[in-house]
Amino acid sequence: MPESILLDITIVIVLGVGAQWAAWRFRLPSILLLLLVGFLAGPVLGLLSPQSLQGDWLFAFVSLSIGIILFEGGLSLRLSELREVGGTVLNLTTIGALITWGLGAAGLHYILEYNVPLSILIGAILIVTGPTVVIPLLRHVQPKGRVGTVAKWEGITIDPVGAILAVLVLETLLLLNDPSRAEAGVNAAVEHVAIGLGLEIFVALGISVAATMLLVFVLRQRMVPDFLRNAVTLMVVVAAFVVSNVLQHESGLLTTTLMGIALANQPFVSVQHIVEFKENLQVLLIGSLFVLLSARLELSALEYIDLRVLVFLGLLIFIVRPVAVFVSAVRSNLDWEEKAFLSWMAPRGVVAAAVASLFAFQLRPVYPEAVDGMVPVVFAVIVGTVAIYGLTAAPLAQWFGLADPNPNGLLFVGAAPWVRMVARQVQANVLSETVLDEVDLYGLGRLLITIPNDEVASLTALHFSEVFESTDVHQLAAGPDSRHGGEDEMPKHMRGRPLFGGSTHYQSLKEHVDEGGTVALLTLADDYAEDEQQEYYTADELSDHYDDFSLVPLFILSEGDVEVVSEMDQFRLRPDDRLLALLGPEANEPGSLGKPGTTDGGASPVEESAFEVVDIHDDENDGAEE
């Protein structure tokens, strides 16, 4: 393999994955960074030559990659989700698609002055949104209830619909411009479209059902070992995509989408391992696709981006999308806030970019001058919609009350007395007047597993790995042998992050409470605040530093956040922070630790250790609402 080709492949992978990591790290829409690094690597810096990124191999790779991405998207769709929103989803992918197509084509013709055939074609391309942009955006926004389901279903199912319509329009244009068949006229073109649409649906349904049945049979009969399951699944998906395309041009996208939906909703075999594999593969494919497609642009493409393009973009965002949504949802059970949010959720993605690039290549002999601006305009719409929706969707959802601005909710698994004591104190603090506006526990952000069985706890951590990030799953060891180096320690990949610190485990905390320990809310004393806020501690160091009394740090409550004290973390206490800790029984002795509103003759060990008491748990707190 020539070194230049190997270098190009390496650059694409590094930029694709690196841009997605940077987007996650800095909370930016990943597609914006992917398009930016691709454009910089291609025409700007010349790391990737636009001339070398041409040819049938690229479009074949792009088409197959999109098919795999749509299959993965279909795996996330459950038919049970359609009970409430099925009609709305159907209307958005039919009526809404037609409205978007018609108004978009009109804007292309009257604003950008494209001829009618090209306006109709580009309008069909811009119907699609797609899972490559919608799913990451939904993951970032985390909307509640029906609106997230509608957006997810529309984003995945509209891709093959828009792609099929665009292909049929393209074939019609090529038919009408073919001198050998032009005399057939418009009637023949309409007939061609109708027959093509019917064949697309028939072939896609047939191939997807057959491929799904074959795959389910093979997996259910255990004809494939575990280590080959993902590979065999990918093989069947690719084969179904190719066979479908051979039988009917560009029907493969619909085939893989239907196959993913069918596989996700069959009751015979688990598809969890397939979902995890496809999610990892999707990261690589999405990154590679956007870098490759944006690197193909020439610097001269910027000449086509002018004020008219911005006006057209505004038309799509502020008029076309809201009209399509409100008309499609006119008889739905969605309230106006949900409709308004859906009106602000139509970013274009990799399918639009890929189809535009492919069609421009095929239409060049027919419209040699007009197609030069086709790809830049579509990319401008992609960048504009992703930037505007990506940067504003989350604040808008929070304003409408459809999303939690900062999901700090804590989900406790386990109900021992000491666990309820801790949870009650956290809740009582959150519901107090001084912090109610600072910490919103509407959304659940972290999982705390506090049960006296490591095996069950580990299974719980694995089960909830789909809901919570691995960094947000914390697991308390059952006993001393379950901690690092212990004979009963579970493998790292099968458990959550170690919860709390030092020799802390379930049994030690239980004994702590049984002997009279209590949960208290502490803050830094004024005399110590200036020095202590500069210190970073691990949970072990904090317990050791204040060894004149028994203290197990549990949570740090600060402005707008609830921080879980994990064994491996370092944290800093600031003057306004409060430390929720489990204190030893000596804290309840007379003269040792006074409850709020009381005075004691002796000096408190807590006060000597730079802490003041804000609140302390006692039986009166048991009446707090849960």
**Is residue 386 within 8 Å of residue 169, measured between CB atoms?**
no
* Helix/strand/coil for 175: helix
- Note the maximum CA span of the chain: 106
pLDDT tens track for 494-551? 667 777 755 677 777 777 777 777 777 776 655 444 554 445 555 555 555 444 446 7
Average pLDDT over residues 81-102: 90
pLDDT tens track for 5-63? 788 888 999 999 999 899 888 877 788 888 889 889 988 888 887 666 666 777 788 88
Lowest mean pLDDT among 371-375, 469-473, 579-583, 621-625: 621-625
Q: What is the pLDDT of residue 215?
A: 93
Q: What is the pLDDT of residue 487?
A: 47
For 44, which DSSP code?
A: I
- Rounded to an integer, what distance in angstroms lies between the CA atom of residue 383 and that of residue 28? 13
Q: Which runs of E-coded beta strand occur in 91-197?
A: none
Q: In this predicted model, which residue has the larger pLDDT, 577 or 90?
A: 90
pLDDT tens track for 569-620? 556 666 677 777 777 666 555 444 433 333 343 334 444 444 455 455 554 4
- Rounded to an integer, what distance in angstroms lies between the CA atom of residue 430 and that of residue 408? 11
Q: What top-level class would CATH report for the domain 3-399?
A: mainly alpha
Question: What percent of the chain has pLDDT above 70?
Answer: 72
Q: In this predicted model, which residue has the larger pLDDT, 225 or 470?
A: 225
The mean of the pLDDT values for the chain is: 76
**Is residue 606 within 8 Å of residue 593, measured between CB atoms?**
yes
pLDDT at 621 over 70: no
pLDDT band at 488 (very low <50, low <70, confident <90, very high): low
pLDDT at 370 over 80: no
Query: Which of 173-182, 426-435, 513-522 has maximum average pLDDT?
Result: 513-522
pLDDT band at 328 (very low <50, low <70, confident <90, very high): very high
Query: DSSP readout, 304-327?
Result: G-SHHHHHHHHHIIIIIHHHHHHH
pLDDT band at 321 (very low <50, low <70, confident <90, very high): very high
Query: Which of 310-324, 429-443, 510-524, 544-558 has maximum average pLDDT?
Result: 310-324
Residue extent(s) of CATH 1.20.1530.20 domains in the chain: 3-399
The pTM (predicted TM-score) of the whole model is: 0.69
Q: Is 443 exposed, middle or buried (0-12, 13-18, 19+ CB in 10 A)?
A: middle
Q: What is the pLDDT of residue 354?
A: 82
pLDDT band at 66 (very low <50, low <70, confident <90, very high): confident
Residue 95's H or E segment, with its range, is helix 95-110
**Is residue 132 within 8 Å of residue 350, measured between CB atoms?**
yes
Rg of the chain's alpha carbons, rounded to an integer?
29
Lowest mean pLDDT among 250-264, 435-449, 486-500: 435-449
